[in-house]
Amino acid sequence: MKIESKIDVLEKRVAELERSNKSLYDQLRAMQLDMEEMMQTNILTSQRSSASTSQKVEYLTEVNEEMFQQNVRLREFIEDCIEAEVVPTRQQYYDMLRQDR
């Protein structure tokens, strides 16, 4: 009888371990699904950020080109004024900075 009670205890213990194992497996699977979802969200966020960065770079490149062109116009204007020995007015400077010149 002692052996039978030990077998019963072992069977109960095995059943408990199997339930515990299944519970751990289910929790692990849920965590894996959460991780996959987080990674997908991170990828989408990264793609949006990359597109936003690309737009910023494009905008800054355009602004940089515009400023370069302004500097070229001002340099040429100042050189012309030096050659003609003329002192430019404030309005003439503003006119040179305008893009539609």
pLDDT in tens, 50-66: 778 888 889 999 999 98
pTM above the 0.85 mark? no
Q: CA-CA distance, 94 to 77, in Å (whole number)?
A: 11
At 16-75, the pLDDT tens digits run 999 999 999 999 999 999 999 988 888 888 777 777 888 888 999 999 998 998 899 899
End-to-end CA distance of the chain: 108
Task: Supply 99's token pair.
Answer: 């893009």
Q: 72, 69, 77, 76: which is closest to 93 by C-alpha?
A: 77
pLDDT at 44: 80
**Has residue 11 got a pLDDT over 70?**
yes
CA distance 72 to 99: 12
User: Where does the pLDDT of residue 100 fall: very low under 50, low under 70, confident under 90, or very high at 90 and above?
Assistant: low
Burial class from Cβ neighbours inside 10 Å (0-12, 13-18, 19+) for residue 54 reads exposed
6 pLDDT band (50/70/90 cuts)?
A: confident
CA-based torsion, 79, 81, 82, 88: positive or negative: negative
Name, in order, each residue with C-beta under 8 angstroms of 77's C-beta and a sequence gap of 6 or more: 88, 92, 93, 96
